[in-house]
């Protein structure tokens, strides 16, 4: 089975996709981490965030690995280095939507994401999974939430990493990133026509996961595992 979960920043995609993966025995793929990893490397290497060729090469050559900590928390490694926390640093969050707008970056990462999806039994989360990467996914979900709630969720997530940012600042950053992601010309963030939309503003994680589980049980998996 392939489940695609898309939605704007802070709508709960990572938490929900991980939980759905555990519940249904699906591999969890965080596609945002791939765009963040390219951004982190570009910043570290002083590559211009306007250089489509150089960013495309970074994406093509990205040695990225998803793994789990001893406690089962998802970890991301690039070239053998654990970058899980670095990927969530404010500078990466501010710059990632510029990197993600580049055609060569998107092409390179889309091919990787498809290859992972077509290994089967996966839940992928991102912005264009149901529209571009896996338009034939068995189930497509579009998560939303009010911007205030999304900023508070992001604030708590950063605090766990020891980073303190005000909810107002995060709200501005989230709105700016959503605007870049929804208005770019290639693979913009938008709800797939046939997606189940869930507003998570007033729902618990458990309630959202149960809803997705029920939808997954209803559709079953009959599309041959191709994207």
Binding site for ligand CDP (CB under 6 A): 9-10, 13-14, 31-32, 35-36, 96-97, 100, 126-129, 177, 181
| Smallest distance from ligand CDP to CB 220, Å | 25
- Strand-strand pairing, 74-78 and 64-68: antiparallel
Q: CB of 49 within 8 A of CB of 38?
A: no
Nearer to ligand CDP, 7 or 214 (CB): 7
Nearest approach, Cβ of residue 80 and ligand CDP (Å): 21
- CA torsion 159-165-167-173 (nearest 10°) is -120
What strands, in cross-sheet order, belong to the sheet with 2-6? 27-30, 122-126, 2-6, 139-144, 196-199
What count of other Cβ atoms lies within 10 Å of the Cβ of residue 180? 16
Q: Which is nearer to ligand CDP, 82 or 214 (CB)?
A: 82
CB 185 to ligand CDP: min, Å:
12
| C-alpha to C-alpha distance for 40 and 95, rounded to whole angstroms | 9
The nearer residue to ligand CDP, 183 or 214, going by C-beta atoms, is 183
Cβ atoms of 159 and 15 closer than 8 Å: no
**Shortest CB 101 distance to ligand CDP, Å:** 7
Question: Tokens 């991301």 — which residue?
Answer: 76
For ligand CDP, which is the closer residue by CB, 128 or 217? 128
Q: Which residue, 166 or 220, is less far from ligand CDP as judged by CB?
A: 166
Please state whether 140 falls in left (phi above 0), alpha (psi between -120 and 50) or beta: beta
Find the shortest distance in angstroms from Cβ 121 to ligand CDP.
Answer: 19
């Amino acid at each position: 089975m392939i489940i695609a979960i898309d939605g704007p920043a802070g709508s709960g995609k990572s938490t929900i996709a991980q939980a759905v993966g555990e519940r249904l025995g699906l591999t969890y793929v965080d596609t945002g981490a791939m765009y963040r990893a390219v951004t982190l490397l570009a910043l570290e290497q002083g590559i211009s965030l306007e250089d489509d060729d150089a960013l495309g090469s970074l994406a093509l050559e990205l040695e990225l690995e998803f793994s789990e900590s001893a406690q089962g928390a998802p970890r991301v490694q690039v070239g053998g280095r654990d970058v899980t926390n670095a990927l969530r640093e404010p500078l990466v969050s501010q710059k990632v939507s510029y990197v993600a707008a580049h055609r060569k970056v998107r092409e390179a990462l889309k091919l990787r994401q498809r290859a992972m999806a077509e290994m089967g039994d996966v839940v992928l989360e991102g912005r264009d999974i149901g529209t571009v990467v896996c338009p034939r996914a068995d189930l497509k979900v579009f998560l939303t939430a009010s911007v205030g709630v999304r900023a508070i969720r992001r604030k708590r997530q950063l605090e766990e990493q020891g980073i303190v940012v005000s909810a107002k600042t995060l709200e501005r950053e989230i709105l700016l990133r959503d605007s870049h992601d929804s208005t770019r010309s290639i693979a913009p963030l938008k709800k797939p026509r046939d997606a189940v939309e869930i507003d998570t503003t007033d729902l618990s994680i458990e309630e959202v996961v149960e809803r997705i589980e029920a939808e997954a049980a209803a559709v079953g998996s009959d599309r041959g595992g191709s994207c």
